Structure 1
Amino acid sequence: MKQLFGKTPFSGYMFILPSVITLMLLVTYPLLYGVYIGFFNTNLINQWDFVGFRHYLDIFGDWGFLNRIFLTLKFTVLTVGGHFIIGLGLAILLNRKLPGQTLFRAILILPWLFPEVVVGLLWKWLFNPMYGLINHYLFKLHLISAPVSWLSHLSVAFWAVVIVCIWKGFPMLMLMVLAGLQTIPEDLYEASTIDGCTKIQTFRYITLPCLLPVLLVSLILDTVWWFKHFTMIWLLTQGGPANETNIVSIDIYKSAFEYFEFGHAAAMAVIVLLVCSLIGYVYRRMLNNDND
């Protein structure tokens, strides 16, 4: 044992070997296996018909898939934008020395702490057209005269899903921005006050530049997470009505586990991986430019 972990040229590799093996088994192998499946028509048991790049060619020739990519981008932009607006505003408010701010922090973080299944079922109950609380209070306020099927109406379902996802995800960004605000030296704000800066000028020239690294990290993490999101939308609408909320992750799931087109689903998953990698590349470029 002493010879194995002593000071040898390979001792460092022996210490990282367990982590490398774990990553290979849990990340690298499933990733490569998914890419491999994309080149076959297969049932994952006894049918392995090699088709090359046919699945990829079919995907890029399918306007329906391209429309779902566009719908996913639209969903991601709206959700992440809502997170930034609400999260940044609440973080600035909670950064002030107000009475009861610890209690408010604990309350505002609750949506993020709840499991996604709980949040999805809770909002599905709230949106219920017969006994949901949303319709109940809208009736009381005389804002509607008939029950609204929030998750079944073509022009409403997508926006209802976006609202739920914004409510679920804004605490994460709020916490990251709040942590960034608390690292800004008070001396900078004191100097801006002495120089006669207004609150808007202080936010523009001190707060925002100091928060830029945190905002960039939050942007990439939030964008990648919600671009490939599945759970919330599946629980609320399962991609309906009439594919109005059928983002690309829902499409991949249906192709694999409803139509049993595993090769086609794997090829779509590879494309999603490439899109997420592109987002990561843009993120790294932005950080490099910021460091320069």
Structure 2
Amino acid sequence: MATQSNTRSQFPRHRKPSRRQWEGLVYVLPALVLVVVFFLIPLGMAAWMSLHKWPLIGNPRWIGLGNYMRVLGDASFWSALWFTVQYTIAATVGLMSVAFALALMVQGQGRSTTFYRTAYFLPVVTGFASASLLWAWLSNVDSGLFSPLAQSLGLTEGRVNILASFSPAFWSVTIMVIWKMAGFYMVILMSGLQSIPADYQEAARIDGASWLQRLRWITLPLVRKPFALALILCVAGSMLAFDQFYIILNGGPQNQTVTAVYRIFNESFVSFRLGYGAALSMVLLTILLVLSVIQLRLLRDRGES
């Protein structure tokens, strides 16, 4: 009998969910439904399509890993992916630098600070399509603003089409993205800065630490988690860039600004090779997952060290 009682004590009976747990499930259920309907089901459909030769009209045909084998030899896709990586590096460095500087500037209190927060965040609410159309008009060599302004300032001898060559076009779009999205990442980093206890900064100031020393040894370590979140969102968003290059440059000049998503769009909705486009999407998703895991591990290891 003692043995049986000990066994029962070691393996307690499963408790029924409490009322509070059921209430929590009810609150979470709408979000779970949205995730399943708009993410998991489309993801499963894309994975299934990637295993078929799936034309726009006609019956799909099972080809297994044929689309993925074709991806390995698709020089156009890897070229587009390499350009996307270059853009991601440039945009991420620019966005995180500008966003962190803005967060340091507006973390205080006061009416002027509130005004600047609103002003810096305002471009975020503008859609990417609208911002791209605005930038395309500003960059127009005839009716835009940038080319006549550069000529009037003496930077150029005449009007120059900045979208006609790769480097000016690339940096023009990158600057537009920094202007458009820096306020979003500023808010994320600002939330981390405001969570730092003021006593830490005050104690370091009393001990004679300079501003750079406080930034290096107090501010940066304590905003590691918000910085990691902003960095992952920034890299993922840059790797999925499409609107700005499609609207402003249309892949030009000479197809040098075709991103990975742009290539997927062309395969799926221009050439109507839906199965191959789905395979490209799954490859890009895998790359994004790997990059996110690497970033999390690097930031976690640095924080633990």
In the superposition, the TM-score normalised over structure 1's length comes to 0.90
- After TM superposition, the structure 1 stretch with the greater mean CA deviation from structure 2, 151-160 or 134-143, is 151-160
Q: 2:249 matched to which residue of 1?
A: 237
What does 1:65-80 align with in structure 2 at a 5 Å threshold? 65-80=77-92
1:151 correspondence with 2:156 = no
1:180 to 188, 192, 206: 192
Q: 2:4 matched to which residue of 1?
A: none
- Aligned partner of residue 214 in structure 1, secondary structure: helix
CA distance in 2, matches of 1:287, 1:86: 20
Q: Deviations over 1:184-208 (max 9, x none)?
A: 1111111111211111111100111
Give the 3 Å change call, closer, same or farther, for CA 143–284 of structure 1 in structure 2.
closer
Q: 2:204 matched to which residue of 1?
A: 192
Give unmatched runs, 5+ long, in structure 1.
Answer: none
- Aligned partner of residue 100 in structure 1, secondary structure: helix
2:68 to 56, 77, 82: 56
Give the 3 Å change call, closer, same or farther, for CA 166–16 of structure 1 in structure 2.
closer
Give the 3 Å change call, closer, same or farther, for CA 13–90 of structure 1 in structure 2.
closer
Q: Deviations over 1:95-138 (max 9, x none)?
A: 24577222111111111111112111111111000011111111
1:104 correspondence with 2:116 = yes
1:35 correspondence with 2:47 = yes
CA distance in 1, matches of 2:72, 2:99: 36
CA distance in 1, matches of 2:224, 2:246: 34
Return the offset for 1:74: 0.8
Letter paired with 2:80: R
Give the 3 Å change call, closer, same or farther, for CA 185–14 of structure 1 in structure 2.
closer
Query: Residues 158 and 244 of structure 1 are in contact (CA less than 8 Å); yes or no, is this contact kept in structure 2?
Result: no
Q: 1:225 matched to which residue of 2?
A: 237
1:90 correspondence with 2:102 = yes
CA distance in 2, matches of 1:247, 1:18: 34
Query: Residues 147 and 162 of structure 2 are in contact (CA less than 8 Å); yes or no, is this contact kept in structure 1?
Result: no
1:160 correspondence with 2:172 = yes
- Aligned partner of residue 196 in structure 1, secondary structure: coil
1:140 to 142, 152, 155: 152
Query: Which structure would you say has the larger Rg?
Result: 2
Give unmatched runs, 5+ long, in structure 2.
Answer: 1-16
- Aligned partner of residue 155 in structure 1, secondary structure: helix
- After TM superposition, the structure 1 stretch with the greater mean CA deviation from structure 2, 12-21 or 88-97, is 12-21
Query: Residues 147 and 159 of structure 2 are in contact (CA less than 8 Å); yes or no, is this contact kept in structure 1?
Result: yes
Return the offset for 1:179: 1.6
Letter paired with 2:158: A
- Aligned partner of residue 170 in structure 1, secondary structure: helix
* Identity between Structure 1 and Structure 2 (%): 27
What is the total number of aligned residue pairs between the two structures? 287
CA distance in 1, matches of 2:115, 2:93: 26
Q: Deviations over 1:16-69 (max 9, x none)?
A: 655444432211111111111112222244221222212111111123222211
Query: Residues 147 and 161 of structure 2 are in contact (CA less than 8 Å); yes or no, is this contact kept in structure 1?
Result: no
- After TM superposition, the structure 1 stretch with the greater mean CA deviation from structure 2, 148-157 or 215-224, is 148-157
In the superposition, the TM-score normalised over structure 2's length comes to 0.86
- Aligned partner of residue 201 in structure 2, secondary structure: helix
Return the offset for 1:162: 1.2
Give the 3 Å change call, closer, same or farther, for CA 229–155 of structure 1 in structure 2.
closer
CA RMSD of aligned residues (A): 2.4
Q: 1:204 matched to which residue of 2?
A: 216
Q: 1:171 matched to which residue of 2?
A: 183
